[in-house]
Structure formats: structure tokens, C-alpha cells
Structure 1
Amino acid sequence: MDIRAFKSANRSAVIELWQACGLTRPWNDPDKDISRKLNVQPELFFIGEVDGKVIASAMAGYDGHRGSVFYLAVSPDYQHRGYGKLMMHRIEDALEAMGCPKLNIVVRSSNEKVLEFYDHLGYAADDVVILGKRLIPDA
């Protein structure tokens, strides 16, 4: 798999990937999420390709205190081949190069499959509660 920065030409393929992976929600417009990311640290928006086809993606960020990752996705047809692990290593390397001391990941508590994936990569649950407030509605 070749990992590189997202390009605008990848937009529809990435949205299709997110939909195939069940990552989209009615309250988050994926097209708007991509546009927002392209305005803030676009160099931390990665895609993975196999034979020119987008099969993976991840958006990362760093606020000077903690890193984060969202929309880590691997096409269902390509899962369990180590591609998600490669994407996470790329993100970790990029964030570490920026001086990021810790990476936080938000995973829905009901998503046991993804929690197990991150456990295998050495991530553990922190004793925190994630709070959210919608500032700009997408719908």
C-alpha cells in the first residue's frame, strides 16, 4: 500500500470508503468534514492506495498538546491485511516529528472490533469522559 497526502481528486473515493466502513453519521456531513480538514493541517490527512485505488484513509491533528486521529478507515475488502496498522504508524510518525507527546483516539464504546484493533497496537482506555457540543450544525 502506498500512503500519501489526500488530494482533492480523492474526495468522492474517500467519502465512499467512509460510507462502506460505516463511519458516516447524519449529523456529520463527510464532504464538509473533508473541506474543514483541508483548511487545518491538510498535511495530516492521509490516504492509502493499492493499484491506484483508495482503500484507506485517516485524518490526524495536533493542537500543540495532544494529537488525535479520526476517520481511520480500511475498505472492508482489504481489512485484516495490516493496512490499518500501516496507516496508524504513518500518523504516529508524522505526529512524533511535530513533537506530539501523546495521541488520543475517540472510538464509540460499542465498536468492539475497533477497540480490539487499537488494543493490539498498544493503545489503552484513559479514565476520561469525552464531552461534545455542536457549534456548527451540518444538517
Structure 2
Amino acid sequence: MTADPVIREISDEDIGQVVAIWHASGVAKPWNDPEKDIAFARRNPHSTILVALSGEQVAATVMVGEDGHRGWVYYVATAPQDQGKGLGRAVMEAAERWLAKRGVWKLNLLVRDDNERVKQFYEHLGYSDTRTTCFQKIIQPI
């Protein structure tokens, strides 16, 4: 990448591009509704979605949030035609800054166990496998 990309918070006009990137890059799964996840992330100041632009087009994304103790990132994705240009690293650095400005000192993320390519990406950025198990339970919102 020759110049730092413009990275900003998502706008309403970006949503279609963001959803398309999530599908094209494989981070959107059938059991998640991307538009619902976007709305949920934007509903309060404790989370957001950051986008990196290539010209006027969204080229990479990261959903970032915090609970007051630790931060989490989701939907780290780069448009297939823009992969290999450093945009994944750039949005992760932007997510880290977003959290640091809020006083959050720990960042967690989830990677599917069989996704070796993505594990290597995060290891290259200085993340380590904590050798913990993530449990989940689906509950119905009230």
C-alpha cells in the first residue's frame, strides 16, 4: 500500500457495499443477518463499524466494540480485489486506536479453528492464541 487509506465510521450509504464485502470475503454466515448486525453495532457509542476507502468505494471493514474492560472485533474483511494491499492491517490498527481512545487495554477476537490463513494474519499483527474455549448460548431478545 503506497498511502494510508482513509478510514472512517460507516455511513448509511456504505451499508450495501459493506454487506457485499462481508459476503464476498466469507465473513458473513447464513445464521447472521449482516444488516441487523450493522444496526446493532451502530446503536450506541460502545461499538461501531470502521471502513477503509479505496477512492470512493469501501474496501475493508472492521466492527469494533467494548464492554468497559475489553474490546472485541468482528467482520474484519477486505474486498477480494483489494486484498494484499495492507487494508486488513490498517483497519485493525484503526480498531485498536478506537479502543485505546476509550481506555480499553485488551482486545479479543474469535477465529474459527480451521482458519489457518486468518490465524497467521493475526499472529503477524502480534496477537496470540490464548488457548481458551469460547462457549455460547443463543437467547431470545426481550
* TM superposition score normalised by structure 2: 0.91
Structure 2: state its 5+ residue gaps. Answer: none
**C-alpha distance 66-122 of structure 1, shift in aligned 2 (>3 A):** same
Question: CA offsets, 1:39-98, max 9 Å, x none?
Answer: 133763101111101111111011011100000101111111111111111111110111
For the pair 1:35 / 2:39, whether they are aligned, the reply is yes
Greater helix share, structure number: 1
Residue pair 2:48, 2:64 contacting (<8 A) in 1 also: yes
1:65 equivalent to 2:59? Answer no
Give the Cα separation in 2 of the matches to 1:61 and 1:85: 17
1:16 aligns with 2:15: no
**Alpha-carbon distance between aligned partners in 2 of 1:119 and 1:43, rounded to the nearest angstrom:** 24
Aligned to 1:124: 128
Matches within 5 A, 1:1-139: 1-41=5-45, 44-136=48-140
**Preserved CA contact (<8 Å) 1:44 1:91:** no
RMSD: 1.4
Would the alpha carbon gap of residues 43 and 128 (structure 1) be closer, same or farther in structure 2, given more than 3 Å must change?
closer
Report the Cα distance in structure 2 between the residues aligned to 1:120 and 1:53, rounded to whole angstroms.
Answer: 27
What count of residue pairs does the alignment treat as equivalent?
137
Q: Secondary structure at the match of 1:39?
A: coil
State the identity %.
Answer: 36
Runs of at least 4 residues of structure 1 off by over 4 A? none
More contact order relative to length (CA 8 Å, sep ≥ 6): 1
Give, as a single letter, the amino acid of the residue that structure 2 aligns with 1:64: G
1:13 partner letter: Q
Q: What is the SS of the residue equivalent to 2:63?
A: strand
